[in-house]
Amino acid sequence: MSNRLVFMFLVMHSLGAVAQICDRDTIVEDTPTERFLFVGDGLAIDIKTGLLWDRCIVGQSYDPEEDKCVGASIEFDSVADLLSVVDELNANSYLGYTTWRVPNLKELGSIVERACVEPAINLDVFPSTSNVSFVSNTPARNGSDYEFRYINFRSGEEFSSAVNFQPRLRVVTDANQ
């Protein structure tokens, strides 16, 4: 991260600002908008990875007229709750697909925009994303059944933790499904 971006982050954070901070002048974008193909209402295909993403956080819905996600995202209290919601999405053919899943850490990391913080994501592709942590299906390094790898989209950092802080979920499937 450049010194300039760190300085901007610290100044804006100390002022209580909530706007996304990006340094596209010195940091090459990881997830430029042209890397994504928008299909249907609220879906984006990542041309680089072949993944189809829900543009909104689980619990929200896409408003095409406003080009943003509306509603409250779900805060998960347990892995069982999270998996139950994914099963329900698939049973109901959510957005026309029945193969939604929790992304693995590599997939989730592929949408981190390292030129930006608060949040570290391309808001043109994933509108209304807040500074929250998202769960992956990748187990923590210690191998515990109850710990997974997460990405904090405030900064784009990866970490491990038990599911006790109410992470959010962004579902994914393969675009060729």
Binned at pLDDT 50, 70 and 90, residue 64 comes out as: very high
pLDDT at 4 exceeding the cut of 60: no
The more confidently predicted of residues 48 and 165 is: 48
pLDDT, one tens digit per residue, over 75-94 is 998 888 999 999 999 999 99
Name residue 134's beta-bridge partners.
151, 168
pLDDT, one tens digit per residue, over 92-116 is 999 999 999 999 999 999 999 999 9
